[in-house]
Structure 1
């Protein structure tokens, strides 16, 4: 019987085993990044939490995920994220999983006057592109350098349904950056496949997180969004856990270049 046919490898415990995997999560101090971090920690990963919010990062490392390493990094600085990954490699000898999750809101969508094309502010545009697009690429690049050399690894990037389709709720800069991220994932997946490095994206819909200055946490403010979601509600961060664990685990050994929507059915409409 071949290794792939061994029934023991088909148990949930073995399929989704991430214990001991050296894992970096960017944007780990809140929202989906925190949910991903909690999931990986609960399943025994060797975790490094990365965020630019040092105060919140330290609180999480002390109170929520005790023992997790932390690193204060702005992914918009390619040198900083590269140094962080290099340091992890120097100390631990490898990097198994990279969650390139860090991102910021793009501001008002086109359903509001301030989001209309003539009102787009280029300073805000540049900030979104720097973090959501360039930051994602810099994170992929920093991980890929080492994963190619070690001939193995997983890179999981947080995209968005806003990068897959037009939406009145989405800002121009956010839509542009997340659309770019989707093709960055596909491009990297093509190059890295022969090195046994899988690159995939998660495209969330509307989740109750602090993105957008906390407006998605306000029940009254988000009520109009419910009508856009077939399940008639926003997601909660822990609902990203299953697909995150899948893409980090042996269960995803033949999945690369894919985009997994977690959106309550938005893209099915």
Structure 2
């Protein structure tokens, strides 16, 4: 097979969680554009159905589903419905995630009195881990079960974060341990599932222009400028920039990759000394 041919995913099917907007929508768009049949699932079912309708109008083979990944039975049902619709599951993007509120430090350089470890509302911790860690486990578990039963291998891609490896004081406390947990989950699952030719890798984004954190970077110039200053390459990313990496990990072009944690953050992990 040619090098470019290894990126071909035509005829395969993919399930993307958290696909109504942001990175999840970007994943769904590139997978559908590359010829896969895609389910866009999201807790915001109305938005997922709107985006699916738009993609169908562009000639893509897609469907939509309402899903809260923290609900294990609902996740199992969503995967089963995808398999019923498309005859199997070749690619799964466990992407759904939420922010965890304000960090202990504000971008303006002051402590946030309501987000200290001894003052924050524990509900932030509970919900963040339920979605960002347990929700990914739920998705990975169901995808692995279906792929093992089919015996054809597959690719599972988890959205982690550069916050799995660095501390970001303006980000809510629960977000970083949840993402660090994903890094270990990916490595463990990759080792366990390698025998079945199921590859498990993580994309670790830095700041992107999405709805996370209330979408402030879209509407607040000061918030956008703050994040731009953190990036050695000069600016926060747009979701189009993650699509090539998503296609790489979904396709046979990454056939010798598993257990990887691929950082895409404009150099933020390196520190910015400009």
Which category of TM-score, normalised to the shorter sequence, fits these structures? over 0.9
Maintained 8 Å contact 1:23/1:47: yes
> What 5-or-longer segments of structure 1 have no aligned partner?
1-8
Maintained 8 Å contact 2:102/2:172: yes
Cross-structure match for 2:120: 120
Maintained 8 Å contact 1:38/1:65: no
Maintained 8 Å contact 1:189/1:198: yes
Q: Report Cα offsets for 1:162-211 as digits up to 9, x if no partner.
A: 11111222211101111111111111001000100000000000000011
Query: For 1:64 and 1:214, how far apart are their aligned partners in 2?
Result: 23
Q: How many residues align?
A: 260
Query: For 2:146 and 2:54, how far apart are their aligned partners in 1?
Result: 31
Runs of 4 or more, structure 1, over 4 Å off, are: none
TM-score by length of 2: 0.91
Query: For 2:86 and 2:235, how far apart are their aligned partners in 1?
Result: 42
Query: For 1:227 and 1:88, how far apart are their aligned partners in 2?
Result: 42
Query: For 1:239 and 1:171, how far apart are their aligned partners in 2?
Result: 25
Classify the secondary structure of the residue corresponding to 1:118.
coil
Q: How does 1:1-269 map to 2 (within 5 A)?
A: 9-12=1-4, 14-66=5-57, 67-112=61-106, 113=112, 114-151=114-151, 152-217=153-218, 218-269=220-271
Query: For 2:157 and 2:145, how far apart are their aligned partners in 1?
Result: 15
1:65 is displaced (CA, Å) by: 4.4
Instruction: Say what the alpha-carbon RMSD is for the aligned residues.
Output: 1.3
Shift of the 65–29 alpha-carbon distance from structure 1 to 2, 3 Å rule, reads farther
Maintained 8 Å contact 1:41/1:65: no
